Amino acid sequence: MSKPHNFSAGPGILPEDVLKQASDACINFDNLNLSLLEISHRSKNYEKVIDESHAIIKELFEVGDDYDVMYLGGGASLQFAMVPYNLLTDKGYAAYVNTGVWASKAIKEAKILGNTKVIASSEDKNFNYIPKGYDIPTDADYLHITSNNTIFGTQLKEFPKTNIPLVCDMSSDIFSRKVNAKDFTLIYAGAQKNMGPAGSTMVMVKKGALGKTGRKMLSMLDYQVHIKGGSMYNTPPVFPIYVTLLTLRWLKKNGGVAWIEKINQQKADLLYNEIDRNTLFVGTTAKEDRSNMNACFLTTKPELEAEFDKLWKDANISGIRGHRDVGGYRASMYNALPLESVKVLVDVMKEFEKKFA
Q: Which residues are catalytic?
A: 102, 169, 193
The SS3 assignment for 68 reads strand
What is the C-alpha to C-alpha distance for residues 184 and 350, in angstroms, rounded to an integer?
42
Task: Say if residues 225 and 184 touch (Cβ distance below 8 Å).
Answer: no
Contact 193, 170 (CB under 8 A): no
Interhelix angle 238-254/16-27, nearest 10 degrees: 140
Rounded Cα distance, 332 and 13, in Å: 9
Cα separation values, 146 from 9, 131, 295, Å: 16, 12, 17
Q: Cβ neighbours of residue 332 under 8 Å, at least 6 residues apart? A: 7, 8, 9, 10, 12, 150, 193, 293, 294, 295, 319
**Pair 52, 231: CB distance under 8 Å:** no
Phi (first) and psi of residue 205, to 5 degrees: -135, 140
Helix (H, G, I), strand (E, B) or coil at 118: strand
**Residue 166 belongs to what H/E stretch?**
strand 166-169
- Cβ pair 319, 341 in contact under 8 A: no
Task: Return the ∠ at Cα 263 (arms to 176 and 54), rounded to 5°.
Answer: 35
Rounded distance between C-alpha atoms, residue 286 and residue 283, angstroms:
8
DSSP-derived pairing of the beta strands 201-206 and 186-190: antiparallel
Cα(154)–Cα(164) distance, rounded to whole angstroms?
A: 24
